[in-house]
Structure 1
Amino acid sequence: MLTLKNIFHISLLMLAIGIEINQAKECKIPENNEDIDWDKVKDDWYMVLHTNDEIMKEDVIGVRLRNISNTNEGMRMVITELHENSPPQTFTSHRIKRRDGVYHREKSEEPAALASHTLTPDGGTNDKAKKIDDALFNGDILALCDEKNFLVNAFCSLSDEWVVWVAFPTLNPTIHQISLMWNKLIEKGIVVQLYPSKTVAHPELMESLK
């Protein structure tokens, strides 16, 4: 019998095959985007898909987003990141709104993100991951969210490639939820190959945080 989890992995494979043929060559955040009422984005959200960038493919194996809300400047959320070789890190992210759907990370929070994203098991620094954070904190972030099915953060790397992190309100999203997310990316001209987070195959790692 084809379970929901099997369907999910098959759908990911189909997406990967389709988008590998037509990779986007330009990274540019669209001018016109939808406003998001963050107070309607309830409960916990989990990183399920990403572009396998240097942050997500090395040490970060899962991400949980919670306590999402509007602020006077834009929005805030509490982020917990699970790591392959180090303890979980929890920090608050404030985002300053530039225009509908486009935000900028609070610069004062960069050290916390760097500590979570770039630390290697031997106590050194992953310079390639640091370049992703340099782009994250020095450029704009496109937020795409229908407030109940998907939450996308997308930004341009220093090499002008899309970095896309996709969260859902579950580690096992439905095909409908994935389709809604994918259609929104296509609408915005974002064509990338997406990979599942390691916690999709090992949800017990994320559940242990509750």
Structure 2
Amino acid sequence: MQTLKNILCISLLMLAISIKINQAKECKIPENNEDIDWDKVKNDWYQGLHTNDEVMKKDVIGAKFRNFTKTNEGMRIVVIDLHENSPPQTLTFDFTKRRDGVYFAEKSEEPAVLASHTLTPDGRTNNKAKKIDDALFDGDNLVLCDEKNYLVYAFCSLSDEWVVWVAFPSLNPTIHQISLMWNKLIEKGIIVQLYPSKTVEHPEFMESLK
């Protein structure tokens, strides 16, 4: 819980910094980024922070990432999503590498993938969340990972705002890991406010996932 409070304090501090130094930061994928050796990204990772976008605040309450695999095209990952409006879903995503740190998410035609972020409580489609998914699958995505402390997935929404999803190797990241992540975001010119995933506040939600 103490770490969670620290996350919130750091997030509020970053928001204050963003207001002071850059009120209208352009959403643009940086040109020069670090390569990632996916063979070194081991074990399970957990979503810890996000920008409280329409996907995260309406449906997805947390996620587990596993089986990171380097492919000829880029990388493959297995994601277990926890949802407010539907049962947990295990999904496989393929990413094509554009250049170091920049990937294109290959859109699957599987109904479970297409609906995984956009369901409403009555089973309909959340059109605002669908726009986030449209941006996710239609443009370049920045992936920042030092292979052991943080995994950042960032892309520009259709309204030209940053969408940022952050994972750590545990649901209780250390202050060191959080600081490394913030420093990398600042280095890339990404100044956003981040919110804890519901599974950070309620880790018991993850206990049933194997």
Native 8 Å contact 1:27 1:161 kept in 2: yes
* Residue number in structure 1 paired with 2:101: 101
Q: Distance in 2 between matches of 1:25 and 1:53?
A: 17
Structure-to-structure mapping, 1:34-113, within 5 angstroms: 34-108=34-108, 111-113=111-113
Native 8 Å contact 1:143 1:153 kept in 2: yes
* Residue number in structure 2 paired with 1:166: 166
* Residue number in structure 1 paired with 2:127: 127
- Paired residue secondary structure (1:170): coil
Distance 1:119 1:3, change over 3 A: closer
Structure-to-structure mapping, 1:181-196, within 5 angstroms: 181-196=181-196
Q: Could you give the per-residue CA deviations for residues 16-53 of structure 1, whole angstroms, max 9, x where no partner exists?
A: 44445544531000111100001100000111000000
Question: Any unmatched runs of 5+ in structure 2?
Answer: none
Runs of 4+ aligned residues of structure 1 deviating over 2 Å after TM superposition are 2-25, 107-114
Q: Distance in 2 between matches of 1:148 and 1:93?
A: 21
Q: Distance in 1 between matches of 2:109 and 2:33?
A: 25
Could you tell me the TM-score, scaled by structure 1's length?
Answer: 0.93
Q: Distance in 2 between matches of 1:59 and 1:76?
A: 24
Distance 1:100 1:208, change over 3 A: same
Distance 1:76 1:23, change over 3 A: farther
Question: Any unmatched runs of 5+ in structure 1?
Answer: none
Q: Distance in 1 between matches of 2:125 and 2:202?
A: 26
Native 8 Å contact 1:11 1:175 kept in 2: no
How many residues align? The count is: 209
Percent identity (aligned) = 75
Native 8 Å contact 2:74 2:97 kept in 1: yes
